[in-house]
Every structure is written in structure tokens, then in C-alpha cells.
Amino acid sequence: MSGMTVSRRLALVIGVLLPIAELYRRRHQLADLSMFPAWFDDMLIGAFLLYGVWRTREGRESGRMFLAAAWAFMAGMAYGSFFGQLSELSKPDPSGASSMIVVAIKGAGLALAFVGLALTYAGAKSEAS
């Protein structure tokens, strides 16, 4: 299985599950407009990843940059989210879950973003050889 195939499958799973998980996590804050930026970024990440998957369907090489950009966007957003959560471990999470669990999940998400980006890039490099 190629790196691009793994990247696409990972993007599909995260692109669907991340928005659902974040909406559930912040379900009691959705009507509060001041909290909109706190959850909408995850909707954008999901949309960008799914767009990248769609653009790379049927082995379309022209879509690779869109998938790479989606992974890079996720990495940037996850970086801020992870370190922001890490610096506020003493504060409760909006979900009610332990802040340690939430920061571990966010750290895994950050790592997966870099893995997805590397797999997308590695796929381009190996196919060019």
C-alpha cells in the first residue's frame, strides 16, 4: 500500500470523525457565538481533509498539493490547540473529560497531521523515482 493511499485513508477517517467529536465535545457551547472560533476550526480541518481526499481520487496527481495543504493546515491548528491545552492543564475541559486525556488526544492528532503530511510527500517522491 502506497504512502498516498494511507494518507488518503487517514484523511478520510479524521475528516469525518474530528468534526463529529468536536461538535459532541462542545455541544453545550454551540449556541454561544463567542465560542464559535473554538469549534469551527475543527470543521474547517475536516472539510479541507475531505476536499484533499476528493481531489486525489482515482490517483489524480494534481490533487496531491491540496491534500498536503490540508495536512499542513491541520498541523498548524493542532499545534496551537495542543500547546494551549497543555499550558492550561489545571482548567477543566469543556467536555468534562480529564484535561490530561484531552491533551493526549490533541497530541496524537498533531502527530497524525505530521504523519499524513510526510506520507503525502513520500508518495510524491517515490512515484517520481
pLDDT in tens, 29-48: 999 999 999 999 999 999 99
The boundaries of the domain holding residue 68 are 3-128
Residue whose C-alpha is closest to residue 81's, from 39, 21, 34: 39
What CA–CA distance (Å, rounded) separates 71 from 31?
Answer: 29
Helix (H, G, I), strand (E, B) or coil at 32: coil
C-alpha cell at 18: 474530528
Confidence of residue 2 (pLDDT cuts 50, 70, 90): confident
Long-range contacts of 117-121 (CB under 8 A, 24+ apart): 117/68, 117/71, 117/72, 117/75, 118/3, 119/3, 119/4, 119/6, 119/7, 119/10, 120/3, 120/4, 120/7, 120/64, 120/67, 120/68, 120/71, 121/68
Checking if the pLDDT of 27 tops 60, the result is: yes
Q: What is the mean pLDDT of the chain?
A: 92
Residue 127 above 70 pLDDT?
Answer: no
Question: Angle 64-86/99-128 helices, nearest 10 degrees?
Answer: 160
pLDDT score, position 67: 96
Looking at residue 126, its pLDDT comes to: 56
Predicted confidence (pLDDT) per residue in 77-108, tens digit: 999 999 999 999 999 988 889 999 999 999 99
Tally of domains within the chain: 1
Reported pTM: 0.90
